[in-house]
A and B are shown apart, each in its own frame.
Chain A
Amino acid sequence: MSSYRIQGATGDWEVVIGLEVHAQVISNAKLFSGASTEFGAEPNAQVSLVDAAMPGMLPTINGECVRQAVRTGLALGAQINKFSVFDRKNYFYADLPQGYQISQFKHPVVGEGTVTLDLEGGVSKGVGVERIHLEQDAGKSMHDQHPQFTYVDLNRSGVALMEIVSMPDMRSPDEAGAYLTKLRTILRYIGTCDGNMEQGSMRADVNVSVRKPGDPLGTRCEIKNVNSIRFVRQAIEVEARRQVDIIEAGGTIDQETRLFDPNKGETRSMRSKEEAHDYRYFPDPDLLPLEFDDAFIEAARESLPELPDEKKARFMEALGLNDYNASVLVAEKESSEFFETLVEALAKATKKDAAHIALKASNWLTGDLFGALNKAGKTIATSPVSAEQGAELLALVEDGTISGRIAKDVFEVMFETGKGAGSIVEEKGLKQVSDTGAIEAIIDEVIAANPGQLEQYRAGKDKLLGFFVGQVMKATQGKANPGVVNSLLKPKLDG
């Protein structure tokens, strides 16, 4: 249970959050027409006669969008409804050509499911999903193109959206953020939505209410169309605070739709319940009820990849990763794929069992590579060092060719130049020296060159061992095998 509380004058308040996520379905064509869905085309270049609601035009369902919604439902462990109905949601707007949006109201294609959140400290929490339904997106109104007129771009009109409605199960901005993050991860894993909130392909409506812990649910406000996880968290904070202030001042919360203004850090009323649209939902007579059989569901299930929770469990159990590393690696599909390629290549190069080298690989990936990527403002997808190159580097450490210390230097060069580890080691002569004869000779030189320190050491100043190790490493430009240096140096110093 979340301990997140809003401190009010009358004591602590609990915030209750539910999210409605609109996720654009990945499909080549729109939900009810053959027009393309590609992002970034010229305005009105991807509009069919159906999308423009020409007289006498009829919608026909795109089976791929249905399959994607079913796959999403399966990935959330949800009930799949073999019978569902498309309804018309009626309202007027310039970018809604039909004068109604085709959506699903009473009978959605997907019923109840769960999203498991990974919270701080390895705690997990299940958030209920109430339903997922398919619906059409509207077009886009552009108010800044002409002083008197609004321009309308219908490219997005008719694109398939999944509306994923959660239960009011979240109790803090962190949980809401974790829910969105996890949901996005799952959608990206299974390839049903690209999750790009900046491009609008994933948007959230946030329902917020407050109550004294243990009380029944308070009146909620819906904050529309929040387009980043950060803003969702901010919006919840300020909205919960606003509600607490009103109630504590003796007021009541009006159920209404609000907008979040990230610049001012406040929510504003958009329309009250009285002004709310009467959408006059009714079953769309142009479309038959959507029906499919078990075989369709099974085929969708078989098409699902390993999901993040399953993958994390496997990384921990089969590969011995700790919870933190496993969580970080599965958070993005690309990271987990990078890691799996890295482990496979490293196992092959070292002829070792994957379980033996996986932990080292995950430490290098989550530490060195992620650190460097982060610093350079890059992502795993644009990493200058590939998984295979990473494996080559780690293999050199593993077989003793270079030390871990040298490996860090080599990695820096790799990251900057994109060159392979082997060639860098070769070029710069960084091969580790493990030849005891050569190292012994250098040790003798170093001892001979520092008689004062030797005397002090022998007088009991043990700490000077480090000084001598450093001198030897310096003389070998770091290439001396530290293990060999230690084993040879001590007996000589001790005399």
Chain B
Amino acid sequence: MSDLTKLKIAEARDLLAKGELTARELTEAHIAAVEAADTLNAYIEKTPEIALKQADAADARIKAGDAASMTGIPVGIKDLFATKGVHTQACSHILDGFKPEYESTVTQNLWDDGAVMLGKLNMDEFAMGSSNETSYYGPVKNPWRAEGSNADFVPGGSSGGSVASVAGYAAMGATASDTGGSIRQPAAFTGTFGIKPTYGRCSRYGMVAFASSLDQAGTITRDVRDGAIMLESIAGFDPKDSTSVDIPVPNFEAALTGDIRGMKIGIPQEYHLAGMPGEIEALWHQGIEWVKAAGAEVVDINLPHTKYALPTYYIVAPAEASSNLARYDGVRYGLREAPENGALDEMYETTRAEGFGDEVKRRIMIGTYVLSAGYYDAYYLKAQKVRQLIADDFKRAFEKVDAILTPTAPSAAFAFGEKSDDPLAMYLNDVFTVPASLAGLPGSSIPAGLSANGLPLGLQVLGKAWDEETVLRVSGVIEEAAVFTSQPELWWR
């Protein structure tokens, strides 16, 4: 058989079921691909021994006729999902050496379905970033390069390792998390399919918290069908997470009917940003034509509070983060930097000064500020009110439409260092993804075209709460229309 790492999950599943492929073969091929992809820096911890053990168990399970969709499928795990006994540090220095005694619900669901763990994936520190440049373990390289250039590009973030491993054929799928766009934006930058389900669809138990009211697990895969399969595996109610919701998980793969005739697709006028590159506008227009051609009705809609989404997000998310990250104090686990005979406060100060990177510190400070006495009403409370208005915008829009189509990001992948000194420019990357995060809605990014210099671009589909099926169905139609067959050259192998 040719390169096994180029198989999709659905294809591998069928070959495994027919006995034409073993999980061990598939896993060995991926372990080799992971080794060969060191240059990408997607994996910060490799677990080949665990992978082979799980692969053998998967083969036994397939033989016994007890296979699930993910059985024998090698995947990578974003470093913020707790994996028992394995590196779980959210790519922060402050969690040095931390190996949890517990397993996150999302990964446990995968293992219960027989999936195979290749290792832990790089990410922006505590998922704070849009370029994977804030990781303590160094940046991830985008497998894609511009036409006729050997320059490196960022993979997007925070799930940079997740998208690079999948785009770079070093995993068939990867877990990821999305707080303001951390699944969708990097998916767009790497020509992969990313889906963030409705807030509450996946358990946050065992996921290192960034902003609890926004964090939601999702998946990165090479196509929509694989996304449907993998999302179904990780989703589900969990009594250990009070914010997870007890409703049944539908058969997502079955939602991929390819039929969107008569469906109404909303085009939010506020997403036409001044100064947005023409190729992004053009891609969006192309997407509109595709869904029209597939028989959907395109409707202009208004989401009037869109312009407040980014400022709102950059109040709410840092506020929660400033509190969520208070537990990293050097007392019980991870890094401890204490001056000789220093007082407790000095231990906190030196540990946190040493352990957190600049972006994390920036957000802790913003968050602490907006929650402070005298500022709470002006910032945090007002942001909560605006958040509600943004959610109401979507609610009204979804009375008229079944899904919303937008670009995923306002540009293609950019070069290292291009935006890392300008936090505001970096934050603008999330302009199209943040509103749906604030509203807790499901969203996806589908590879839809290439930029002028040959880098992938993505389109975003947003759906009603709990209607991932429509998001997937529309995504599937766009995927089919886009015929996105470009692949990065395997320059790192």
Contact = CB atoms under 8 A, between A and B. Distances in A.
A2 to B, nearest CB: 36
B331 A55 contact: no
A97 B331 contact: yes
B380 interface: yes
B344 interface: yes
Given A99-B329, A285-B211, A287-B242, A54 B323 contact: no
Given A54-B102, A92-B348, A282 B323 contact: yes
19 contacts: A49-B102, A52-B332, A55-B327, A56-B205, A57-B205, A58-B204, A58-B241, A88-B323, A94-B344, A97-B327, A97-B332, A98-B326, A99-B325, A99-B326, A280-B322, A280-B368, A285-B320, A286-B209, A286-B212
Nearest to B367: A280
Interface stretch (B19-27, B139-147, B185-193, B370-378): B370-378
Contact of B327 (A99, A152, A282, A287): A99
Interface in A312-350: none
Interface string B332-348: 11000000010011001
B100 interface: yes
B478 interface: no
A355 interface: no
Contact of B213 (A92, A150, A285): A285
A288 B243 contact: yes
A94 B242 CA distance: 27
Interface in B337-368: 341, 344-345, 348, 368
Contacts of A288: 242-243
A52 B241 CA distance: 17
A56 B82 contact: yes
Contacts of A97: 327, 331-332
Nearest to B80: A56
A73 to B, nearest CB: 23
Interface string A280-294: 111001111000000
A280 B329 contact: no
A88 B325 CA distance: 13
B239 interface: yes
Contacts of B451: none
Q: How large is the interface on A (under 10, 10 to 19, 20 to 34, 35 or more residues)?
A: 20 to 34
A55 B239 contact: no
Given A55-B98, A285-B211, A280 B371 contact: yes
B462 interface: no
A56 B209 contact: yes
A189 interface: no
Given A56-B82, A56-B104, A97-B331, A282 B319 contact: yes
Contacts of A92: 326, 329, 345, 348
Contacts of B90: 55
Interface string A39-74: 000000000010011111111110000000000000
B172 interface: no
A181 interface: no
Interface string A250-285: 000000000000000000000000000010111001
Nearest to A93: B344
A365 B80 CA distance: 66
Interface string B428-442: 000000000000000
A468 interface: no
A282 B329 contact: no
Nearest to B212: A285
A90 interface: yes
B409 interface: no
A148 interface: yes
B208 interface: yes
A286 B212 CA distance: 6
A100 interface: yes
Given A60-B242, A282-B380, 10 more contacts: A53-B327, A54-B333, A55-B82, A56-B80, A57-B206, A58-B242, A97-B331, A150-B344, A285-B211, A288-B243
B240 interface: yes
A435 B206 CA distance: 86
A280 B102 contact: no
Given A52-B332, A285-B211, A60 B239 contact: yes
Interface string B221-258: 00000000000000000011111000000000000000
A55 B335 CA distance: 13
Complex A-B, nearest 3 residue pairs according to Cβ-Cβ distance, in ascending order: A99-B326, A280-B371, A285-B212
B101 interface: yes
Contacts of B372: 278, 280
Contacts of B211: 285
Contacts of A98: 326-327
A282 B325 CA distance: 15
Contacts of B341: 148
Contacts of A100: 323, 326
B371 A90 contact: yes
Nearest to A92: B348
A54 B100 contact: yes
B376 A282 contact: yes
Among A94, A148, A282, A287, chain B packs the most CB atoms within 10 A around the CB of A282
Contact of B371 (A57, A99, A282, A285): A282
Given A54-B102, A60-B239, A90 B331 contact: no
Contact of A90 (B204, B206, B239, B326): B326
Contact of A59 (B242, B320, B325, B331): B242
Interface string A191-207: 00000000000000000
A55 B88 contact: yes
A90 B323 CA distance: 7
Nearest to A54: B100
B298 interface: no
Contacts of B212: 285-286
Nearest to A90: B323
Interface in A423-455: none
Nearest to A49: B102
B100 A55 contact: yes
B93 to A, nearest CB: 14
Contacts of B380: 282
B485 to A, nearest CB: 39
A124 B335 CA distance: 58
